[in-house]
């Protein structure tokens, strides 16, 4: 494959992803993965043994230059390398009676198969599977030959692809979609996925038909199913109880039905025209999650019991992926629920409009650290706070609650500037909370004798507030900036003070709004300022929603946001300094 540049080799020699290496180790033949340029990214132990090389001696090298040889050991021109041609074509290919160079200079006669392979967000990598063969060994027919079974190499490639495809997502629906695409039309022209819900109900989640080059879902055949009878000996009932796999046909369900599920199965066979089906359990680590049915209608040949081990292997990998996805989604739901219950209701402040938003990250491991708060102080002023606890998930959500409660207590008891309150909070964070580090803005909002709204704030390592005037001028408030909480460094903290202009909008936010992979923080802050200025004339709820829609990066972290809007004209003065009554 293509000649290696030094930069490409250095990048490819980086430590291979753990999931990729683990997936290759599960393959019972030599296997390696190459990147878009043909550089080896990872190898399994079997490949190391067959090639007589260690992984670190081959990773990063051009696979063609390192391995491919002619029958006399001579370097193989790229124009005569069938593997290279298949690699550039980007579709599965296989070959026999070819040769790899071993580390000791000897030749290894091999049969091989290559297939496109996704690694993380890179979907243009290639998997190579090979094993030692002797000249004269015949290759078994491929899956494109009607009615013929998969070869050993093709089975291994399918299982390897199943592992990497299903373990690289933690979304149940996406895992099901990938499972369907893996088996259709390679093994069947119909696939049915029945899942057992957390309430022990059966739901026919997917019925999909491979129609030439399209996968067509049949919603009319999906939906709730009758309960699984304990005594039924019909194949689907046994699979859903985790008892056994089975091969079935239309005749299986033409007899008098023994349950509602049997009636639904008969309807399925009649509606799809399936003449042969393989039905296997989908097992998780602790329980049966459902059943996978592969059906052949137009596709010739019938399933046999010899096909069941491969389909069971696929279903086993699907079960692990679905189990992990369900656990992940439960964890995410708990974290989101806890976070939402911990975030407070906003106080009503006469003359001011105030709104808040919290958007959890799609990744459950990123939920829990961001928070906002607003509350009335003992002298009638209003405290505003926004922060981000280092860490994620339930631990960060719990730490956020501790930090917020300590802050509220200090702010209520001590009628001092925000800087002094945060200094005391920083002293207490390690002894009395579980928070290691955190960023925070604490602000005090009250009215002057002339009725203007005065903002005093201190910033502990947090992105600066953004002030937008009604005529579209937007600027960041960079005064009052100091170290984040939890560093152990004791220093006096500054305050910033500003009279908020009439009809202006103040925006407090967390870094999830302005940080995105591949972009600098300055890029994100410039984007936020640009869109906030353009939306300055909108009512506050619309301003907030539109700003999130335009600026929020595609879900790498959670986001907390607090926005307030000052009235058009100062009041004649507060009835009580900073009063919220």
| 519 and 496 both lie in a single domain | yes
pLDDT tens, position by position, 438-480:
999 999 999 998 889 999 999 999 999 999 999 999 999 999 9
Same domain, yes or no, for 123 and 195?
A: no
- 260-305 pLDDT tens trace: 999 999 999 999 999 999 999 999 888 899 999 999 998 888 999 8
**Whole-number pLDDT of residue 384:** 96
Q: How far apart are CA 93 and CA 84, in angstroms?
A: 10
What mean pLDDT value characterizes the chain?
Answer: 84
Q: Is 364 domain-assigned?
A: yes
The stretch 238-246 carries a mean pLDDT of 93
Q: Which of 310, 332, 354 is the last residue of a domain?
A: 332
Closest CA to 462 of 433, 443, 483: 483
Residue at 354 is within a domain: yes
Tell whether 320 and 386 lie within a shared domain. no
Query: Which pLDDT score is estimated for 434?
Result: 77
Task: Tell me: pLDDT of 364 over 70.
Answer: no
CA distances from 84 to 36, 78, 141 (A): 12, 7, 21
**Distances from the Cα of 361 to the Cαs of 242, 464, 523, 550, in angstroms?**
35, 22, 20, 16
Same domain, 221 and 253: yes
Task: Evaluate whether residue 157 is within a structural domain.
Answer: no
544 occurs within a structural domain? yes
Q: What is the dihedral of CA 401, 407, 408, 413, to 10 degrees?
A: 150
Specify whether 402 is located in the same domain as 294: no
Let me know if residue 443 belongs to a domain.
Answer: yes
Q: What is the mean pLDDT of residues 192-212?
A: 92
* pLDDT of res. 336: 60
Q: Which of 105, 123, 150 is the last residue of a domain?
A: 150
Quote the tokens at residue 72.
């006399």
Contacts of 90 (CB under 8 A, 6+ apart): 116, 124
User: 33 and 125 in contact (C-beta within 8 Å)?
Assistant: yes
Percent of the residues in the chain that have a pLDDT greater than 90, as a whole number: 48
pLDDT (0 to 100) of residue 329: 73
Cβ atoms of 259 and 235 closer than 8 Å: no
**In Å, how far are 2, 31, 61, 413, 465 from 8, measured between CA atoms?**
11, 21, 9, 61, 42
d(CA 154, CA 308): 16
Domain with 440, as residue range(s), is: 344-565
**For residue 569, pLDDT beyond 90:** no
Report percent pLDDT > 70 for the chain.
85
Instruction: For residues 413-441, give the mean pLDDT.
Output: 90
| End residue of a domain, out of 285, 303, 332 | 332
Residues 19 and 45 in one domain: yes
> Do residues 173 and 323 make contact, with C-beta atoms less than 8 angstroms apart?
no
DSSP 473: -
Residue 339 has pLDDT above 60, yes or no: no
Structure tokens at 192: 């049915």
> 305 and 174, same structural domain?
yes
Provide the CATH number for the domain around residue 322.
3.30.450.40
Residue 62 has pLDDT above 60, yes or no: yes
Q: How confident is the model at residue 436 (pLDDT cuts 50, 70, 90)?
A: confident
The dihedral formed by the CA atoms of 481, 483, 486 and 492, expressed in degrees to the nearest 10: -80
Question: Which residues contact residue 233 at a Cβ distance below 8 angstroms, ignoring those fewer than 6 apart?
Answer: 258
Q: Residue 3: which pLDDT band, with cuts at 50, 70 and 90?
A: very low
| Region class of 25: left (phi > 0), else alpha (psi between -120 and 50), else beta | alpha
Asked if 307 and 365 sit in the same domain, the reply is no
* pLDDT band for position 331 (cuts 50, 70, 90): low
Identify whether residues 116 and 230 lie together within a single domain: no
Query: Is there a cis peptide before residue 185, judged by omega within 30 degrees of 0?
Result: yes
Same domain, 317 and 384: no
Structural domain tally of the chain?
3
Maximum average pLDDT range among 125-139, 397-411, 527-541: 527-541
Output the furthest CA–CA distance in the chain (Å, rounded): 99
Report pLDDT for 18.
Answer: 65
Mean pLDDT over 560-574 rounds to 80
Q: DSSP state, 453?
A: E
328/356 same-domain check = no
For the entire predicted model, the pTM comes to 0.50
Residue 580 lies in a domain: no
Is 83 part of a structural domain of the chain?
yes
- Both 315 and 424 in one domain: the answer is no
Q: Does residue 429 lie within any of the structural domains?
A: yes
What is the Cα–Cα distance from 239 to 312, expressed in whole angstroms?
Answer: 11
Looking up residue 39, the CATH number of its domain turns out to be 3.30.450.20
Nearest CA to 467 out of 509, 418, 522 is that of 509
* Highest-confidence segment of 16-25, 249-258, 329-338, 503-512: 503-512
Which residue's entry shows tokens 């890179």?
A: 122
pLDDT of residue 335: 60
| Residue listed under structure tokens 């990497």 | 164
CATH code for the domain of 353: 3.60.40.10
Element (H, E) at 267: helix 260-272
Higher pLDDT, 14 or 207: 207
| Contact (Cβ atoms closer than 8 angstroms) between residue 153 and residue 53 | no
Question: Contact 406/387 with Cβ under 8 angstroms?
Answer: no
The mean-pLDDT minimum among 48-62, 325-339, 449-463, 470-484 falls in: 325-339
Between CA 105 and CA 331 the distance in angstroms is 53
DSSP notation for 6-72: HHHHHHHTSPPPHHHHHHHHTSSSEEEEE-TTSBEEEE-HHHHHHHT--HHHHTTSBHHHHHEE-TT
pLDDT in tens, 128-182: 988 887 655 444 433 343 345 676 767 777 887 788 788 778 788 888 999 998 8
Predicted local confidence at residue 28, as pLDDT = 73
The encoded tokens of residue 372 equal: 């906002």
- Please state the φ and ψ torsions of residue 379, each to the nearest 5 degrees: -95, 5
**pLDDT of residue 111 exceeding 80:** yes
Q: In the structure encoding, which two tokens stand for residue 178, read together?
A: 């990938």
474-476 and 453-460 strand pairing? unpaired
For the stretch 376-391, pLDDT in tens is 999 999 999 999 987 6
């Amino acid at each position: 494959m293509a000649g290696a540049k030094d930069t490409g080799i250095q990048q490819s020699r980086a430590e291979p992803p753990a999931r990729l290496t683990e997936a290759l180790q599960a393959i019972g033949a030599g296997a390696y993965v190459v990147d878009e340029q043909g550089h080896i990214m990872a190898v399994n132990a079997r490949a190391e043994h067959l090639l007589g090389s260690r992984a670190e001696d081959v990773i990063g090298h051009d696979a063609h230059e390192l391995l491919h040889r002619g029958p006399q050991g001579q370097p193989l021109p790229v124009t005569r390398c069938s593997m290279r041609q298949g690699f550039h074509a980007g579709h599965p290919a296989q070959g026999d009676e070819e040769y790899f160079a071993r580390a000791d200079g000897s030749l290894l006669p091999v049969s091989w198969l290559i297939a496109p392979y996704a690694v993380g967000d890179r979907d243009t990598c290639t998997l190579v599977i090979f094993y030692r063969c002797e000249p004269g060994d015949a290759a078994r027919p491929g899956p494109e030959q009607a009615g013929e079974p998969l070869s050993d190499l093709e089975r291994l490639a399918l299982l390897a692809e199943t592992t990497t495809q299903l373990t690289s997502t933690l979304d149940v629906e996406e895992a099901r979609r990938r499972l369907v695409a893996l088996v259709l039309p390679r093994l069947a022209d119909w696939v049915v996925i029945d899942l057992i819900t957390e309430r022990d109900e059966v739901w026919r989640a997917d019925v999909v038909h491979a129609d030439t080059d399209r996968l067509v879902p049949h919603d009319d055949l999906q939906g709730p199913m009758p309960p699984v009878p304990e005594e039924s000996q019909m194949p689907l009932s046994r699979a859903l109880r985790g008892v056994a796999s089975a091969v079935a046909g239309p005749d299986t369900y033409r007899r008098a039905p023994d349950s509602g599920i049997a009636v639904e199965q008969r309807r399925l066979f009649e509606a799809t025209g399936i003449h042969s089906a393989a039905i296997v359990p989908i097992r998780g680590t602790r329980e049966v999650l459902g059943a996978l049915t592969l059906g052949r209608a137009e596709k010739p040949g019938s399933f046999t019991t010899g096909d069941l081990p491969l389909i069971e292997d696929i279903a086993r990998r699907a079960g692990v992926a679905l189990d992990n996805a369900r656990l992940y989604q439960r964890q995410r739901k708990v974290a989101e629920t806890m976070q939402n219950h911990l975030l407070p209701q906003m106080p009503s402040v006469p003359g001011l409009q105030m709104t808040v938003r919290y958007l959890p990250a799609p990744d459950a491991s990123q939920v829990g650290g961001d928070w906002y708060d607003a509350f009335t102080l003992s002298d009638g002023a209003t405290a505003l706070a926004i922060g981000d606890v280092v860490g994620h998930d339930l631990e960060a959500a719990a730490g956020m609650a501790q930090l917020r409660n300590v802050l509220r207590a200090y702010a209520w008891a001590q009628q001092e500037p925000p800087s002094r309150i945060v200094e005391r909070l920083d002293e207490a964070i390690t002894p009395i909370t579980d928070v290691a580090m955190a960023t925070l803005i604490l602000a005090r909002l009250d009215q002057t004798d002339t009725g203007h709204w005065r903002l005093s704030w201190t910033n502990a390592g947090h992105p600066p507030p953004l002030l937008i005037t009604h005529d579209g001028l937007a600027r960041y408030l960079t005064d009052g900036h100091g170290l984040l909480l939890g560093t152990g460094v004791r220093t006096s903290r500054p305050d910033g003070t500003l009279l908020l202009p009439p009809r202006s909008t103040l925006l407090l936010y967390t870094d999830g709004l302005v940080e995105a992979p591949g972009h600098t923080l300055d890029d994100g802050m410039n984007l936020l300022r640009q869109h906030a200025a353009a939306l300055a004339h909108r009512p506050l709820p619309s301003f907030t929603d539109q700003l999130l829609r335009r600026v929020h990066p595609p879900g790498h972290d959670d986001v907390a946001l607090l926005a307030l809007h000052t009235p058009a004209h100062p009041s004649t003065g507060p009835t009580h300094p900073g009063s919220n009554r």
